[in-house]
């Protein structure tokens, strides 16, 4: 068995198709005519743009909007003035051929990205390689190499770029395995959008597998089995059949209310990181967007997005949600996410540093530009604004003051602005959780961000492999803080929701309802499973479970109780 990163859930069983690693015969040549070489480079650039335009059109025609967005980002890379100027400079100063100039320039940027603190930025290395690959192929006079696939198979590759994936006959592909990549790599994103099982980051898998080998992909566990025995195959086929039945069963819940057996209606909202996820949220019946992350607009670019760019993005989300509530979180950069355009100084402990609202209050121009775009978009739907990483009332008041000034300025300029835009906060810092009663007197709503709340409550860096086992949502201190937030928010008469991973985990659904939570926000793919759990519950059973769990002293005991099937009835 080979282990990797679970990228897309499900089980796939079938023969392997190993894609060969790309080999470019790149030579450094001395050139005489600099102008001619620059022209050759620009001709290849133009042809590459045309090729990517074709890939965008093809993806859009097949309804693969997320893949189209990826290629649109690739096209922008081909127009990057710094990249183009870097290649031209090498051609002119070093008198080298365009292929070599491009390769060395791209490698410089790849090395920068590879050293970034952010997984997201490190995984954009694949994008840069993909874009450069188009141009190098065209400079070499090579055409697109389409893999010949006759029957259903599981793709095994060292790396799968979006361009590689676009060339595959996806009706015959049953799953993906790659040697590199993480949960936010494009292989993972595309696999999830296609609902195909995938495991990435499986070291040396291409040398361990041959074409035709029987493989099993367990996308939930991040496991790959090569030429398993018949008994193992049969066991996985049974699991596969169970998952298929569960999927069909969940699909029947799309138009059904999220209501307990006692008649209590629970609001199920979606967490969205990029606009392409909106159709999934609507398809799975989300009552609105409980967390729309805005970081996608800022990452993977050398310049900050303009007010107009942001306005168009927020407007698109609000229009597509057709009047349903949309909670848009202001920029949450820092910690594990960096921003090249801001050139942030390295910090000893970025998770306790200048991140979230702290950065926005420090860089007022950054903050006010986003607030202007949000308020301008507010007339196109039911917008709510949420501030991240609030740890004190002083921070919240300072952020609200900025928002009020921006709103007044827009009205003075003649921009239409919604008459009421609720403002709320993320509760992800213990100090905020402990004074929820005070916040409830001033904020319109709160949303519990369990990922960071757990991390800060337990003093555990969830990205540190040495101590990540100590990071647990079952810890009694975490559950007591959540109980406190829900109780104080409800006493204060404000909305309280949860948008962390716990909200999308069906094991916690009975407990959270027992604690009084009535609004959950989660990944669109988790909506139906949580709805199913809700519909099996009685309110009295959920309350009794909450009382029992809160009396337990250890995470292990709590985990055992919450995993008990009897809690559902």
61: CATH: 1.10.274.10
Integer Cα distance of 298 and 295 in angstroms: 5
> Where are any strands of DSSP class E within 359-401?
382-387
The whole-number average pLDDT for the span 77-104 is: 90
The whole-number average pLDDT for the span 27-33 is: 88
The whole-number average pLDDT for the span 11-18 is: 94
Integer Cα distance of 268 and 506 in angstroms: 13
The answer on 213 and 116 residing in a single domain is no
468 within a domain of the structure (yes/no): yes
pLDDT at 427: 98
Task: Decide if 186 is catalytic.
Answer: yes
**CATH code, domain with 316:** 3.20.20.60
The answer on 117 and 154 residing in a single domain is no
pLDDT at 131: 82
The whole-number average pLDDT for the span 413-420 is: 96
- Place 116 in a pLDDT band, splitting at 50, 70 and 90: low
Strand order in the sheet with 173-178: 2-3, 223-226, 214-218, 11-18, 153-157, 173-178, 198-200, 5-8
- Place 22 in a pLDDT band, splitting at 50, 70 and 90: low
Last residue of a domain, one of 97, 112, 140: 140
Three-state SS for 79? coil
Q: Which whole-number Å values give the CA distances from 237 to 13, 230, 242, 560, in the listed order?
A: 8, 10, 9, 28
Q: Of 296 and 431, which is predicted with more confidence?
A: 431
333 within a domain of the structure (yes/no): yes
Three-state SS for 446? strand
239 within a domain of the structure (yes/no): no
- Place 69 in a pLDDT band, splitting at 50, 70 and 90: confident
The answer on 514 and 395 residing in a single domain is yes
pLDDT above 90: residue 501: no
Hey, how many other C-beta atoms are within 10 angstroms of the C-beta on 20? 10
**CATH code, domain with 162:** 3.50.30.10
pLDDT above 80: residue 201: yes
Task: List, for residues 518-551, the tens digit of each pLDDT value.
Answer: 999 998 888 999 999 999 999 999 999 999 999 9
59 within a domain of the structure (yes/no): yes
**Of 148-152, 284-288, 365-369, 522-526, the least confident:** 148-152
The set of residues, in sequence order, having a beta carbon less than 8 Å from that of 102 and lying 6+ positions away, is 41, 87, 132, 135, 136, 139
Task: List, for residues 375-412, the tens digit of each pLDDT value.
Answer: 999 999 999 999 999 999 999 999 999 999 999 999 99
Hey, how many other C-beta atoms are within 10 angstroms of the C-beta on 126? 22
Integer Cα distance of 551 and 492 in angstroms: 25
The answer on 273 and 179 residing in a single domain is no
Domains of the chain: total: 3
The answer on 167 and 275 residing in a single domain is no
The whole-number average pLDDT for the span 346-359 is: 83
The answer on 301 and 169 residing in a single domain is no
Give me the catalytic one of 74, 134, 153, 186.
186
211 within a domain of the structure (yes/no): yes
Residue ranges in 19-124 assigned as alpha helix (H): 34-61, 65-78, 81-94, 98-114, 119-123
pLDDT at 59: 77
289 within a domain of the structure (yes/no): yes
In this structure, the chain runs to a length of 569
Tokens at 554, concatenated = 């250890």
Last residue of a domain, one of 174, 205, 228: 228
Last residue of a domain, one of 93, 123, 140: 140
250 within a domain of the structure (yes/no): no
The answer on 39 and 185 residing in a single domain is no
- Place 144 in a pLDDT band, splitting at 50, 70 and 90: low
The answer on 280 and 187 residing in a single domain is no
Q: Which whole-number Å values give the CA distances from 444 to 356, 408, 433, in the listed order?
A: 19, 19, 15
pLDDT above 70: residue 335: no
pLDDT at 543: 96
Q: String of b and e for 493-513 (b: at least 16 CB within 10 Å)?
A: ebbbbbbbbbbbbbbbbbbbb
Q: Residue 49 belongs to what domain range?
A: 34-140
457 within a domain of the structure (yes/no): yes
The answer on 267 and 215 residing in a single domain is no
Question: pTM score, two decimals?
Answer: 0.71
The answer on 161 and 129 residing in a single domain is no
**Of 134-138, 255-259, 560-564, the least confident:** 134-138
- Place 111 in a pLDDT band, splitting at 50, 70 and 90: confident
Task: List, for residues 44-68, the tens digit of each pLDDT value.
Answer: 899 888 888 888 887 777 767 767 7
The answer on 320 and 211 residing in a single domain is no
Q: Which candidate, 518, 509, 454, places its Cα nearest to that of 480?
A: 454
**Of 4-13, 160-169, 355-364, the least confident:** 160-169
The answer on 169 and 121 residing in a single domain is no
């Amino acid at each position: 068995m080979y282990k990797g990163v679970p990228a897309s859930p499900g089980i796939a069983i079938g023969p392997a198709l190993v894609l060969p690693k790309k080999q470019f015969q790149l030579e450094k040549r001395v050139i005489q005519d600099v102008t001619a070489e620059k022209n050759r480079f620009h001709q290849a650039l133009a042809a590459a743009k045309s090729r990517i335009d074709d890939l965008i059109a093809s993806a859009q025609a097949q309804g693969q909007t997320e893949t189209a967005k990826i290629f649109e980002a690739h096209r922008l890379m081909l127009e990057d003035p710094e990249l183009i100027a870097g290649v031209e400079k090498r051609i002119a100063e070093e008198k080298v051929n365009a292929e070599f100039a491009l390769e060395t320039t791209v490698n410089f940027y790849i090395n920068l990205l590879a050293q970034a603190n952010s997984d997201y930025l490190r995984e954009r290395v694949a994008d840069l390689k993909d874009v450069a690959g188009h141009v190098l192929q065209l400079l070499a006079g090579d055409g697109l190499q389409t893999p010949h696939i006759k029957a259903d198979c599981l793709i095994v590759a060292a790396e799968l770029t979006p361009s590689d994936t676009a060339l595959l006959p996806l009706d015959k592909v049953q799953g993906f395995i790659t040697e590199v990549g993480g949960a936010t790599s494009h292989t993972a994103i595309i696999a999830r959008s296609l609902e195909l099982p995938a495991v990435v980051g499986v070291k040396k898998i291409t040398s361990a597998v041959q074409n035709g080998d029987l493989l099993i992909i367990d996308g939930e566990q991040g496991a790959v089995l090569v030429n398993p025995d018949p008994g193992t195959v049969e066991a996985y086929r049974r699991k596969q059949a169970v998952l298929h039945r569960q999927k069909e069963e969940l699909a029947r819940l799309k138009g059904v209310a999220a209501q307990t057996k006692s008649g209590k209606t629970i609001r199920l909202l979606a967490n969205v990181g990029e606009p392409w996820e909106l159709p999934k949220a609507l398809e799975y019946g989300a009552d609105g967007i409980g967390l729309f992350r805005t970081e996608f607009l800022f990452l993977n670019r050398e310049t900050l997005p303009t007010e107009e760019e942001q306005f168009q993005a927020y407007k698109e989300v609000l229009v597509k949600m057709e009047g349903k509530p949309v909670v848009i979180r202001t920029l949450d950069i820092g910690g594990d996410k960096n921003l090249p355009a801001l050139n942030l100084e390295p910090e000893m402990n970025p998770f306790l540093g200048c991140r979230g609202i702290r950065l926005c209050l420090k860089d007022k121009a950054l903050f006010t530009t986003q607030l202007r775009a949000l308020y301008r978009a507010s007339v196109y739907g039911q917008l709510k604004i949420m501030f991240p990483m609030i740890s004190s009332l002083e921070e919240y008041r300072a952020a609200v003051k900025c928002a009020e000034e921006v709103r007044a300025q827009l009205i003075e300029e003649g921009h239409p602005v919604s008459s009421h835009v609720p403002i709320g906060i993320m509760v992800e810092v213990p100090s905020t959780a402990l004074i929820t009663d005070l916040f409830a007197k001033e904020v319109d709503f709160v949303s519990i961000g369990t990922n960071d709340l757990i991390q800060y409550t337990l003093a555990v860096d969830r990205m540190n492999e040495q101590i990540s086992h100590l990071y647990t949502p079952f810890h009694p201190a975490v559950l007591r803080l959540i109980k406190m937030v829900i109780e104080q928010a409800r006493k204060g008469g404000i909305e309280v929701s949860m948008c962390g991973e716990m909200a999308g985990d069906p094991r916690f659904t009975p407990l959270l309802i027992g604690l009084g939570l009535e609004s959950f926000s989660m990944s669109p793919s988790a909506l139906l499973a949580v709805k199913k759990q809700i519909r099996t519950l009685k309110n009295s059973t959920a309350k009794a479970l909450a009382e029992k769990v809160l009396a337990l002293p250890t995470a292990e005991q709590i985990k055992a109780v919450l995993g008990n099937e009897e809690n559902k009835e």
